[in-house]
């Protein structure tokens, strides 16, 4: 440590009378001395460097501090005191490299800094190779869109159940975040499924394109389950008492027609839609309800054709079954082709058969 002692002796003189440039030079010399044999220094020796650097950093310019942080950030046994001081610096050019890389920072340090500093500091923390869920919780809570997107791309970040729920909620209005979460292998399956239900077809297509081979099967399984979710949602119990009263009044006023049914579909008024379609088809409500619950569109198509509805109305009804989510483009294309192919006469024969049978078969 003779070289270190010589530098420290010089330090006392520089601190008392040296210029800023001279202080920066000494800071670099002390830093280089440490870096030259960092792996060989014991705990006491590292502590000595910590004390020396602590004296120097208060009397040098930001540029020199940024250089110091960049050099010390990746060092396993860097002086912990100086690392913590640099990590809390207001200038991101100083704190950033340390926040993103230093193994000396504890979860407690990161949580404290994330709770007190701005978005640039949170963004730097989000880049760390490993992040505990306690840290990501505060990053998700305080982070802006840029921070959360960066965090969601970090495969070394762990998330709590609460954190994942918050991310999934934010992803409903952020397609980039939805894509990032979609390719995470640790995303809880139920949350991923719910997220994909609410994702646009564009997001789903991009997920298929960017998902690595090991995740393709899982993503496809999730996407395939979306229709099942729609079916379960449609199958939930409904109360048609109020809707029937509305339909009775509309019929008596002469306002129950195709335009009214399209309006119910666009407005998401499912009970009124089902009750109104049943009345126009002279069919029981439970029959139309079962057709609407079927995962395929065939049954609803037959009812709409029998009522002589046009494609825009049927299109609106199909979309209402998925609302507020988009119908897969392929489903709409097939639905339109089937609609154009089916004649009114054939639809009415099929519908009369269902009325006689009193059931709607599961296969439409």
- Looking at residue 225, what is its pLDDT? 53
What residue ranges in 262-326 does DSSP mark as E strands?
Answer: none
- Domain range summary for the chain, segments of one domain joined by +: 1-105, 237-357
Instruction: Find how far residue 11's CA is from the centre of its chain.
Output: 52
- Looking at residue 303, what is its pLDDT? 92
- Looking at residue 167, what is its pLDDT? 92
Structure-block tokens of residue 212? 């690595």
Q: State the Cα torsion 164-166-169-175 to the nearest 10°.
A: -70
- Looking at residue 11, what is its pLDDT? 58
* Residue 324: cis peptide before it, omega within 30 degrees of 0: yes
Half-sphere exposure of 160 toward its Cβ, with a 13 Å CA cutoff? 13
- Looking at residue 262, what is its pLDDT? 93
Determine how many CB atoms are found less than 10 A away from the CB of residue 103: 15
Half-sphere exposure of 340 toward its Cβ, with a 13 Å CA cutoff? 5
pTM of the model: 0.56
Q: Are 127 and 100 in contact (CB under 8 A)?
A: yes
- Looking at residue 14, what is its pLDDT? 55
Separation between Cα atoms, residue 203 and residue 188, nearest integer Å = 18
Q: pLDDT per position in the chain (364 positions), as tens?
A: 445 455 555 555 655 555 667 778 888 888 888 888 788 888 888 888 888 888 788 778 899 999 999 999 999 999 999 999 999 999 999 999 999 999 999 999 999 999 999 999 999 999 999 999 999 999 999 999 999 999 999 989 999 989 998 998 898 888 889 888 877 767 776 677 666 666 666 666 666 665 666 555 655 555 555 545 444 454 455 678 899 999 999 999 999 999 999 999 999 898 999 999 999 998 999 888 878 876 667 788 999 999 999 999 999 998 887 766 666 677 788 889 989 999 999 989 888 877 876 543 333 3
- Can you list the pairs that 279-288 forms with residues at least 24 positions away whose Cβ atoms lie under 8 Å? 279/247, 279/251, 280/256, 280/307, 281/306, 281/307, 281/351, 282/355, 283/351, 283/354, 283/355, 284/358, 285/240, 285/244, 287/354, 287/355, 287/358, 287/359, 287/360
- Looking at residue 287, what is its pLDDT? 86
Residues 311, 314, 318, 324: is their CA dihedral positive or negative?
positive
CA neighbor of 95 nearest in space, from 86, 104, 107, 108: 86
Separation between Cα atoms, residue 31 and residue 183, nearest integer Å = 42
């Amino acid at each position: 440590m003779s070289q270190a002692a010589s530098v420290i002796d010089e330090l006392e003189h520089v601190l008392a009378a040296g210029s800023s440039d001279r202080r920066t030079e000494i800071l670099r010399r002390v830093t280089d001395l440490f870096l030259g044999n960092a792996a060989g220094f014991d705990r006491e020796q590292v502590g000595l460097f910590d004390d020396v650097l602590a004296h120097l950093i208060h009397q040098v310019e930001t540029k020199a501090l940024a250089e110091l942080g960049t050099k010390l950030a990746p060092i396993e046994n860097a002086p912990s005191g100086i690392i913590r001081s640099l990590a809390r610096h207001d200038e991101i050019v100083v704190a950033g490299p340390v926040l993103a890389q230093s193994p000396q920072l504890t979860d407690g340090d990161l949580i404290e800094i994330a709770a007190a500093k701005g978005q640039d500091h949170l963004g730097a923390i989000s880049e760390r190779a490993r992040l505990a869920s306690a840290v990501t919780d505060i990053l998700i809570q305080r982070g802006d869109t840029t921070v959360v997107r960066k965090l969601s791309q970090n495969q070394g970040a762990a998330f709590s159940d609460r954190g994942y729920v918050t991310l999934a909620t934010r992803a409903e209005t952020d397609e980039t975040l939805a894509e990032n979460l979609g390719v995470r292998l640790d995303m809880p399956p139920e949350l991923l499924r719910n997220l994909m239900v609410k994702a646009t077809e564009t997001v789903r297509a991009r997920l298929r394109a960017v998902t690595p081979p090991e995740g393709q099967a899982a993503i496809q399984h999730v996407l395939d389950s979306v229709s099942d979710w729609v079916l379960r949602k449609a199958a939930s119990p409904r109360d048609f008492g109020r809707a029937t009263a509305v339909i009775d009044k509309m019929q008596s006023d002469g306002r129950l027609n195709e335009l009214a049914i399209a309006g119910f579909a666009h407005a998401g008024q499912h009970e009124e839609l089902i009750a109104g379609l049943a009345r126009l088809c002279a069919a029981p409500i439970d029959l139309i309800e079962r057709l609407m619950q079927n995962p395929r569109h065939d049954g609803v198509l037959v009812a709409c054709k029998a009522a002589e509805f046009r494609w825009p109305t049927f299109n609106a009804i199909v979309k209402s079954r998925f609302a507020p989510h988009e119908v897969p483009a392929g489903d709409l294309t097939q639905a339109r082709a089937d609609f154009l192919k089916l004649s009114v006469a054939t639809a009415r024969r099929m519908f009369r058969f269902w009325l006689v049978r009193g059931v709607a078969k599961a296969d439409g």
